[in-house]
Amino acid sequence: MSHTISKKELKKTDHLTAVGRNAFEQLVRNQKMVFTVALVLLLAGAGYVAWDKVSSKKEIAVQEEFYSIEKKYLKLKESFDKAEADQKDKTKKDSEKSSKVTADKDSKKAEEDSKLPTGDLMKDYGSVVEAWNKLIDSYPSSKAAGMASLELSQLFLKYKSPKEALQVLSKVKAQQNSDQFMGAMVFHAYAKLLSNQGQCQEAISVWENLEKKKHASFLMEPAKMGRALCLESLGQSEKAEIVLKELVADNNNNPSSGRGGAPQAKGKSAIQKTAEKYLRFMKLKKSASGAAAS
């Protein structure tokens, strides 16, 4: 996602501005850590379905199909991870030994290399991709389809195919309810991908709608953070600052019980702490601009 926040005054070479620009760039680069919370929630979707009361026998059957595909995916992933770990270990050991290599070792290495991922998604996980796509196309409104789209989009991203990741989420979201857990996760993931691909105006619209949903309140923080970053990238710094202040202030509106039932202020989340860092930078930016103007 593009983050273009510098104005003409920020292009000046005074020391204060240079320090401020560097601080903001560091924060932007570290924003992936902010969305780790959202990613954890995304992966927790599978756990949610385990206890969610499902009234439809068809839904149960589709979920069973999803887990069957996921089991195959995890088995393939485990074998690839092990092969890569073994290769790293062997490379390290070889570098510590003599450079002499026998024919047997060459043969063994070729066998090990055959287990490594090729870097081609369809060669590595083709059967899984096809199975999840078939499930999504057949039952797009099911919770299982929502889960499959989230898993599949992450797989596309791993293989550097962001357009395909966006496409699979786009295909499902039209059939998902954004005011339910799984639907909200699909819409949030969709907005995140839009923002990463520079489509911030559309991403902002998706996040704004999510923030209005009662049952999507668990995504309030990542949605507001994503919206603020998009506003900043669009050059709307004042609006971004308002959203960040709202995000930080939300901490005071969610008390938790202390000992004896007494209310106790909830500690700041990782996202709120990052929002505070952005706000400090914005203050520094204004100071630098004022100093340059005078």
CA atoms lying within 13 Å on the CB side of residue 276: 10
The count of other CB atoms within 10 Å of the CB of residue 100 is 6
Phi, psi of 196 (to 5 degrees): -65, -25
- Is 42 a member of any domain? no
Question: In this structure, are residues 160 and 192 in contact, taking their beta carbons and an 8 Å threshold?
Answer: no
Which 3 state secondary structure label does DSSP give 23?
A: helix
* CATH number, domain containing residue 176: 1.25.40
For residues 139 and 164, membership in a common domain is answered with yes
Spatial CB neighbours of 208, under 8 Å, sequence gap ≥ 6 = 227
> Of the ranges 119-123, 250-254, 273-277, which one carries the lowest mean pLDDT score?
250-254
3 has pLDDT over 90:
no
- Which helix (H) or strand (E) covers residue 103, if one does? helix 103-113
192 has pLDDT over 60:
yes
- CA angle (122 as vertex; 140, 130 as ends), nearest 5: 25
Closest CA to 74 of 192, 154, 166: 154
- Is 64 a member of any domain? yes
For residues 140 and 61, membership in a common domain is answered with yes
Answer with the one of 197, 220, 244 that is the final residue of a domain. Answer: 197
pLDDT of residue 256: 38
- Is 258 a member of any domain? no
- When pLDDT is averaged across residues 49-69 and rounded to a whole number, the result is 77
Could you read off the pLDDT of 17-42 as tens digits, one per residue?
A: 444 445 445 554 555 444 444 444 44
Question: In this structure, are residues 168 and 152 in contact, taking their beta carbons and an 8 Å threshold?
Answer: yes
* Residue at token pair 């008390």: 255
Residue type, 133: N
The count of other CB atoms within 10 Å of the CB of residue 162 is 14
Answer with the one of 197, 212, 244 that is the final residue of a domain. Answer: 197
- Which helix (H) or strand (E) covers residue 237, if one does? helix 237-249
User: pTM of the predicted model, to two decimals?
Assistant: 0.70
**What value does the CA radius of gyration of the chain take, rounded to a whole number of Å?**
24
CA 107, distance to chain mean position in Å, is 41
> Of the ranges 7-16, 199-208, 279-288, which one carries the lowest mean pLDDT score?
7-16
120 has pLDDT over 90:
yes
97 pLDDT band (50/70/90 cuts)? low
Question: In this structure, are residues 185 and 147 in contact, taking their beta carbons and an 8 Å threshold?
Answer: no
pLDDT of residue 232: 93
253 has pLDDT over 70:
no
265 has pLDDT over 90:
no
Identify the residue with better confidence: 10 or 53: 53
User: Domain range for residue 21?
Assistant: 1-34+199-252+266-294
151 pLDDT band (50/70/90 cuts)? very high
For residues 17 and 73, membership in a common domain is answered with no
Count of domains in the chain? 2
pLDDT of residue 292: 67
- Is 259 a member of any domain? no
- Is 114 a member of any domain? no
CB < 8 Å & 24+ apart, contacts of 43-50: 45/146, 45/147, 45/150, 45/181, 45/182, 45/185, 46/70, 46/147, 48/181, 48/182, 49/143, 49/144, 49/147, 49/182
- Is 133 a member of any domain? yes
For residues 188 and 231, membership in a common domain is answered with no
What does the mean pLDDT of the chain come to? 79
- When pLDDT is averaged across residues 122-148 and rounded to a whole number, the result is 96
- Is 16 a member of any domain? yes
For residues 127 and 172, membership in a common domain is answered with yes
135 has pLDDT over 60:
yes
